[in-house]
Structure 1
């Protein structure tokens, strides 16, 4: 979709530039034509994306709850309490993990943040999540999250490669997050949630691009 839309726009712009036109009036005319073509393409794609069917609504497995405003931020998606711990779930898509038929993704990356009151650092798991399995990629201690909700990149040693740990320790870490409800049961909700987020971001991208090209005015039917 991207290649077809923008190849035509920029191909036309290149053809116009090859013409031996001069003067401010001619340059302004060319710019107006290019802008009009780009705005038309952005609007067409905006309306096309707007017609896409959203997945059925899925609720997260209890006792996880959706973090308010998560759909419009880069913070955690789900949270729950486990004793005196707070469990926060962040999700992102694995690269090249799309299903060609419906555009959804069948592999997800999870950051699982386990924090305790009075502790300056939290325990962080990076996991791969699939419909029928969850695997830990790494375990590290990170600076405890405050109000921003963004993951903090550790500046110190983050521990050994997870696969190089003793098998019993790896099993123990897997049991640790399993007890806290972090398993494949999260997949359906997070897959649907990420699809809706991507759809909203794409709609916003077309709209804000159109508004910028059009001088800040809201695009019609957008």
Structure 2
């Protein structure tokens, strides 16, 4: 009987020992996985925390260095200004006699070296300084069925430059219309008359100055808005 008990005790002991080692291995694996997960989560939180800190610092710096105006511009002359928050465009609209005039204006979309004045009254290109470029698309309509005049302009810091003229069947035309010659190829007197045409409608050098001032502020505002959106996304759990 004692021999039988000893023979039964041996495999039972081996089984219990095997189970004990298996449990120990599983516990070690669980601890290892938990440690890796914990370290990974800590690194993720530290990484995201660093991004959030940098974003907060940058937002604070931008707001302190140049606070936004208390009241954003909603008018310029007889134009109504729509700042279109979150977009790269703004819109100006007005009524002139029997015309509806609409300006779609980009944020800064290019730059060229700025000319430096010389003693003789001319200028030389100075590659150390740049002047920013803004595209202005002027749309003038006189009612349904009369077509639409579209004039593409460049707004430089102190002047408006006409680039192209188009007559469209309607404002939402899809096909590519005949664009006419380059504006600079037109007769000089005709070019001057077209500038006068825009001047009467308030599309002039003063508008160019306003647009550059407005877009400097919009560029900063949209940058801060963008950082705040990135910050909110990272903070979201």
TM interval, shorter chain, is: 0.5 to 0.7
Q: Which runs of 5+ in 1 are unaligned?
A: 1-21, 147-151, 217-222
Q: Which residue matches 2:56?
A: 43
Question: Which residue, out of 216, 219, 232, partners 1:195?
Answer: 216
**Could you say which structure has the larger radius of gyration?**
2
Q: Which runs of 5+ in 2 are unaligned?
A: 1-34, 115-129
Which is bigger in relative contact order (C-alpha 8 A, separation at least 6)? 1
Count of residue pairs brought into register by the alignment = 185
SS state at 2:189 partner:
helix
1:66 paired with 2:87, answer: no
SS state at 1:51 partner:
helix
Task: Decide which structure has greater strand share.
Answer: 2
Q: Which residue matches 2:179?
A: 158
1:139 paired with 2:165, answer: yes
SS state at 2:144 partner:
coil
Judged with a 3 Å threshold, the aligned counterparts in structure 2 of structure 1 residues 165 and 82 are, in CA distance, closer, same or farther, namely same
Displacement of 1:212 in angstroms is 0.9
Displacement of 1:72 in angstroms is 5.0
Alignment map for 1:205-220 (pairs within 5 Å): 205-215=226-236
Distance in 2 separating the partners of 1:144 and 1:34: 53
8 A Cα contact 1:60 1:186, kept in partner: no
Displacement of 1:186 in angstroms is 1.0
Distance in 2 separating the partners of 1:163 and 1:132: 19
Task: Decide which structure has greater helix share.
Answer: 2
Q: Which residue matches 1:8?
A: none
Q: TM-score with structure 2 length normalisation? A: 0.64
Judged with a 3 Å threshold, the aligned counterparts in structure 2 of structure 1 residues 214 and 170 are, in CA distance, closer, same or farther, namely same
8 A Cα contact 2:158 2:209, kept in partner: no
Distance in 2 separating the partners of 1:106 and 1:96: 4
- 1:76-96 Cα offsets, whole Å, 9 max, x none, are 532221211111122222423
Q: Name the stretch that deviates more: 27-36 or 104-113.
A: 104-113
Judged with a 3 Å threshold, the aligned counterparts in structure 2 of structure 1 residues 72 and 31 are, in CA distance, closer, same or farther, namely closer
Displacement of 1:36 in angstroms is 0.9
SS state at 2:152 partner:
strand
8 A Cα contact 2:101 2:141, kept in partner: yes
- 1:15-65 Cα offsets, whole Å, 9 max, x none, are xxxxxxx94333222222211111111111011111132588878553223
Displacement of 1:199 in angstroms is 2.0
SS state at 1:77 partner:
strand
Q: Which residue matches 1:123?
A: 149
Question: Which residue, out of 87, 91, 110, partners 1:95?
Answer: 110
**Considering only aligned residues, what root-mean-square deviation do their CA atoms show, in Å?**
3.3
